[in-house]
Each structure stands twice: as structure tokens, then as C-alpha cells.
Structure 1
């Protein structure tokens, strides 16, 4: 049994920009992450909560869709207003709607006068390893993830919304990374569950395909750079581009989404100055995706289905 290790600890350095202190989305000031994990035989699922501490005031935000085969609650209002006003939740496909309702309850409990909130909840299909039809996510699971959110290094691999996910022929899960650029930070957190051929710094590592229902990826990007919603949309699109760097085949049944938000206040960037943030987001997402694999462990779940962890020796040899 190999111990989970971040890809950088295996000697793989993605890109050239420096990382934040934790190399995580929580390097962005004011961004917290909390998770609830369900790992009980046929149930391998959970909730991951990304909580910007100033969400209630409304934050510039944008959503990019690579392929819209998925269920991402709350996107039309984000597209219309360019603002996110709640934490972001990730979970399994058929639990999205229960998670959204539980998030709404959590928000209303904290604001007795509120009459409207736009919960944002994304998903990938973890039905290969988890009995997805049971829709096991309860308000208690959601509230525990939100209430436990912290600025520490988020757990990665088989945790939270990544407990039952697979990617590129191997067990995958949650991954995160960050880059420091222009006196600010760009951080990414991913829920990996997509098909293709794992590629590490240009070297393919083929695996037997996993016959899983649904192939998707949710990407959340946070930054404290002062970007407006339109510019965040440009960042979000580049986050989806980064899937190709690790070997995604962008399958027809894959729901590939990125949500980007800024803690940086009023926009002060010229578009011509976005080269460094673009580089930061692609490097962060690429490394987060690899971390989601190398931090995962072999898992057996629903109906005895099993997904093996990527052998770290293969990663080392590829580099």
C-alpha cells in the first residue's frame, strides 16, 4: 500500500510560477474549505464546501462551460449578474438538489430577513463506486461541511465530493493547488471524475478504462486579484483548457465546468495584463488535477466495483 502523496512530493513540478504557502485554494485570503466524507461500503460520496468569507456581500464571479452535460445549480443568476452570493458546494450527481436545499436552509438560518439567495452547487457522477440512487446526502452532511470550513490545507483524494470519483482510469477525488502572481494569489480546487489518458508533463500513462457512469470535472478558482466578472470568465475558460494538459478526452457525456470568483474588490486590471493570471490558473488547475489522483487510494465500493490508485512509480518514471 502506497501512502498518498502530493504530486510535487513525487518530484513533479508543474510550470514555473511559485506556489502559495499551502499550495492550495485556501492560500487566497478569506477562502475556506470544509468537507464531509461518507465511506461506508456501497456509499462512497460526500460534500465539499468552498466558502469565501465575504460571500454575503456578493463577489464578482463567472461560470464557464466546457461541456454542459451536468447539473450545476445557480448558474443562470451568476451569468446574468456576474456575482456569487453563497458558498459553493460540490457533491454527487443525484444529491445536488438535496445539497442545494440544505445550503439554502443554512443561509436563511444566518440571515432571518433574507427572502432570496442563489445557492451554487455542482456535481460529478460517483455512481461507479457509490449507490447514487440512494441520494444519501442530508442537511447534516452539508451543514457539517460548511461549519467545518477552515483556511488550512484541504484534505485531498478520497474525501468529500471526491470520495467516490475516478479519472483517467484511476481512483481520483479532490485536489487543490495555487500560484502567486502580481502580488496576488490564484488558487484552484477540483473534483476529478473524467475520462482520457493520464498525462504527466507530456508523458502518457495509459490505464485500463473504468466503465463508470458519467465523466465530469468541477473546477473552482478563487483569487484576490481585482478582476471583474468578464475577466473571471476568461480565467474560468482557461481552467477548462487545463484539463487537456493531464489527458482529458472531453467525452460527450462529460460535464466540465469552472467557477471563478474574486475576493479582490473593484476591477483594476487591463485585459493586456492577464497573461500572468492566465498562466497561474492553468498551472494551478493542472497541479490540482494531478494531486486529486496521487492523493487518492484504491477504493472498493458499490457492487464490489473497484478503482485503483495510480502507482506513484509510474508518475516518477514519467518525469
Structure 2
């Protein structure tokens, strides 16, 4: 397949929703958030990788952030989910990778966290790992990425522009029968007298009948039905874990707008966290009673609406920025979003 130029959705003249994006239109517009990728595109069999999301660049185990999670269909493997639900916080970097690499991702996070200064006496931690199955393009039974490769994704994370498409954990993913991948977007949201930033990063690997800003896109017969998606939402709004879980739930609204099948074989996971310093769970604050700022229920509706539209745009960016990819089984080659548009024009 011939590579075609990749353009983000807004560069194609398509605007999703009404709230404006941040400067990078990425999850890293949320102050402190860092993202790193390791991309493994080797020979004719390896199409996989890892993507790390760090809520802040400090010691997360010591300075935890509040978080909430929402699962729509749970046919997937999301490590760390029960402790997030129980305690409402994240204490490690987040890693996204392929299904059979979950264990190695936990080991990578454990090594990174235990090696940080101040964690010398840590004997238990909750590694957070999401996955999708990239076996349609990748030889998933090969032990890649390795623990060391996933450590690289964490240590190279930066708070700058985020590479999208077939990179990191999205190297071998497929969505709507097309090449899926990593996508991101952000929104600036007024609420009361304040303005908050909200950003989403997705790993798209699911099926359905693709819709772009509510309009059907005829990609049959290669639409697929099963698959998974992981959606990570960051905000600087001062939210407690309860409202972060409610915010994560709204990501599924954006997922539905893209035409997702939400089938029996789908794993649909959304995780939201707040980087606001006032809600950070520092060692001093965890020692006893502490008052945390909390955006009221009456003030969160604009964030809910923004979460829907930013998730939709992040998913579509993951498609628009992906290049056509051949896998170790050539029958599973996947065209890009742009190739599909070209084919559609040719049929007219």
C-alpha cells in the first residue's frame, strides 16, 4: 500500500462539537500530563508497542491523583481496576499495550515505581494497565514489547505534542476495518468563573459502522464488530473520584457517536483523573483530615458535554493519522482512513 499524507480531523475541515481545543489539541494540554510511546514495527511480524500516560512527572506513588473508571462492556483486561474503584486514586503511571503483554507492563511499572527516590520501603503498589488485542496485524504470541521496552515508554514521556496513528500501543490496532491507533484531543471548558482543560487519549481497536460527525461513512464490508478501546481522560478541574467516574462514563457517549458496535466481544474502558494540585493526595494530606476543593455537581455539566465531543474527536484522529499497515498475515492488511475515502470516491 502507498502511504498517503496524514492530517488530523481539524486539518480536514471537520470540527467536532462547540468547545475550543487547547494549543496542542492533545491530552498534554492538561498541565503536567506526559505521554511516551515505544513503537515496534519490525520485519513482517511485529506490529505492537506501548504508550505511557503520566498524570504528572513527579512521584505518583507519593503524590497520588484522584481517579474514576467506567466500563461499558467488560470483555477486556484492565489491570488495577478494583483498587481504583475502591480508593478512587492512581499511584503509578498508566501503560497501554497489547493483550498478552499485560503482565510485562505490570512488571515495567513496578520497576519504575520501586526505583523512584522516596519509594525505598514500598512493598505494594497498584499498576494501571489497559490493553487491546492487536493480533490481526501483530504476532501477539511473541513476547513484545518487553519489560525494558515498556520502561522506555515511561521514561521518554513528555508534556509536548503527542504522536498519533499507528504508534505506541496503537501500532497494530484496527478500527472499523481500517487502521486504528492512538488519537488525542482536548477542550477548554468554562464552568462558573473558571476555565478548565480536558484532554483524552485513546487506543482504538474496535468495530461498528463508522460515523464522522454524525454522518455515516460506508466502509462495509470490512467494518468488523468485536474489538476494544481504552480511553484515558485528564482534566485540571478539581474533581473528586465520584465525579471523575461520572466524567469517564461520558467518554462512552463519544464512542457511541463514532458508530461503535458495542458488541459482546468488545472491551470498552474509560479512566479519568484530575491533575489539580488542590486535590492531589500528598503524604501530608493522607495522614489525617484534609479539605479538598471540589467542583459541584451543578457545575460539571459543561465538562460532561466536552468529554463526549473530545472523545469522539480523539477516536477520529486515531484513524485519520494512521497509515496503511501490512501484518504478518497479509490477508489481514488494513487500509488507512484516507485509502478508504479514496475508494469511496472511486465507487461514485
Bin the TM-score by the shorter chain: over 0.9
Alpha carbons 1:171, 1:309 under 8 Å: kept: yes
State the aligned residue count: 317
Residues of 2 paired with 1:48 and 1:244: CA distance?
A: 24
Q: Report the secondary structure of 1:107's partner residue.
A: helix
**Other-structure match for 2:180:** 172
Cα separation, partners in 2 of 1:149 and 1:101, compared to 1, 3 Å: same
Residues of 2 paired with 1:246 and 1:62: CA distance?
A: 23
Moved more, 150-159 or 110-119: 110-119
> Which string of whole-angstrom CA distances, capped at 9 and with x for unpartnered residues, describes residues 172-217 of structure 1?
1000000011311000000000100110111111223548795000
Cα separation, partners in 2 of 1:312 and 1:5, compared to 1, 3 Å: farther
Q: TM-score, normalised by structure 2?
A: 0.88
Task: Verify: 1:149 aligned to 2:157, yes or no.
Answer: yes
Q: TM-score, normalised by structure 1?
A: 0.96
Moved more, 300-309 or 252-261: 300-309
Q: Superposed, which structure 2 residues align to 1:110-121 within 5 Å?
A: 110=116, 111-121=119-129
**Other-structure match for 2:49:** 46
**Other-structure match for 1:12:** 14
1:114 positional shift: 1.3
Alpha carbons 1:128, 1:213 under 8 Å: kept: no
User: Which of residues 259, 267, 270 in structure 2 aligns to 1:258?
Assistant: 270
Residues of 1 paired with 2:267 and 2:35: CA distance?
A: 23
Which ranges of structure 1 fall in alignment gaps of 5 or more residues? none
Residues of 2 paired with 1:201 and 1:283: CA distance?
A: 9
Alpha carbons 2:79, 2:129 under 8 Å: kept: yes
Task: Verify: 1:101 aligned to 2:107, yes or no.
Answer: yes
**Other-structure match for 1:220:** 232
Which ranges of structure 2 fall in alignment gaps of 5 or more residues? 280-291
1:137 positional shift: 1.6
Residues of 2 paired with 1:136 and 1:49: CA distance?
A: 15
RMSD: 1.8
Q: Superposed, which structure 2 residues align to 1:294-305 within 5 Å?
A: 294-304=320-330, 305=332
